[in-house]
Amino acid sequence: MPALLALDESLQRVRCGLESRARRISGRVGEELAAHVGRPGKMLRPRFCLLLAAALDVEPEKAEAAARGMELVHNASLLHDDCVDQARLRRGRPTANEVFNVNVALLLGDMAFAQGLEEVVDLSPLSARRLIATAREMAMGELQEEFLKGSVNVTLDAYLGIISRKTGALFEWCGATLSELSRRPHEAADPPRLGSAAGMLLQIVDDVHDYTLDAAVSGKEPGKDLCERRLTLPAILALNDPAARPRFVRLWQEGGQDLGSVRRMTRFLEESGHLEAARCRARELARSIRGWAEALPVRDYGREFVGFIDAMERREF
């Protein structure tokens, strides 16, 4: 069976499994609430998980359970993040905290995490324990980001540490778990290392998109990080540039939460080259991932995985 056809069928089973979980709890909490727990999004994480699993020769049933667990924990983090950020839109729809209230959204996030843990608890002796540690690291990254909100003294190293935790940690969990489940000889350190880098790549691309994509494409308010006074890679690179720093700080201090402020900052970062510099960082990460991926034991799927990483780097959604 061609690799992509097998992936599509596996991805469909993951999607059906998420929908089945929502149906099972809808009798207790109602369909509208249950939909927020397991509603599939872009499915980037399940795609990543299934392609990496195939390249490592992991049994499909176990790979699909890992993919469902990964997506559910991701959903849990989004439900909580939207409460912290007071976000109104997610994936082009009103957030749970907007539709219901913050308390309900937080509890839905707790439920999503519990369901994700339930998916992976029987995968391996370490999978559930690793996922709990991953949730701790994700929360730590979010806390560190929250502490630095409003500051213009965020270093590049601090930013990279934050995104390695809040986004990279779940991908790293996936790599470590699939490495343990692999039926082929391989370098055990490569999949988790590759996973962490893939999560960081995804975050950098999202941070660029926060400036460049409108709500109709991204599914969330444009300039959300800027409006929340949160520095991400394009802004940090501008601050580290002596020629650009004074103008950036002036725009930062003058800026409000209106679309005009977002557009002025976006135009400055584009003209000064710092949005492109952030894209270059993403390309560097993608090159590192491709290097590790070339050593994956199942070469045909390894090539499909590299194609997926290339698409992640270039995506405009």
Query: Tell me, what CATH number does 40's domain have?
Result: 1.10.600.10
Per-residue pLDDT tens over the stretch 225-252 = 888 889 999 999 999 999 999 999 999 9
Q: How many CA atoms lie within 13 A of 176 on its CB side?
A: 18
Query: How far is Cα 89 from Cα 82, in angstroms, rounded to an integer?
Result: 8
Q: Lowest-confidence range among 21-30, 85-94, 267-276?
A: 85-94
Q: Where are the beta strands (DSSP E) in 81-226?
A: 89-90, 93-94
Instruction: Give residue 266's domain range.
Output: 3-314
Query: Nearest to residue 293, comparing CAs of 180, 198, 208, 226?
Result: 198
CB atoms closer than 10 angstroms to residue 113: 23
Compute the average pLDDT of residues 20-47: 85
The total number of structural domains in the chain stands at: 1
pLDDT of 2 above 60: no
Which band of pLDDT confidence, cut at 50, 70 and 90, is reported for residue 1?
A: very low
Compute the average pLDDT of residues 18-24: 88
pLDDT of 91 above 60: yes
What is the overall mean pLDDT for the chain?
91
Compute the average pLDDT of residues 294-314: 93
Per-residue pLDDT tens over the stretch 143-187 = 999 999 989 989 999 999 999 999 999 999 999 999 999 999 999
Length of the chain measured in residues: 317
Per-residue pLDDT tens over the stretch 251-290 = 998 876 778 888 999 999 999 999 999 999 999 999 999 9
Percent composition of the chain: helix, strand, coil (DSSP 3-state, to 5): 75, 0, 25
Place of tokens 């999607």: 15
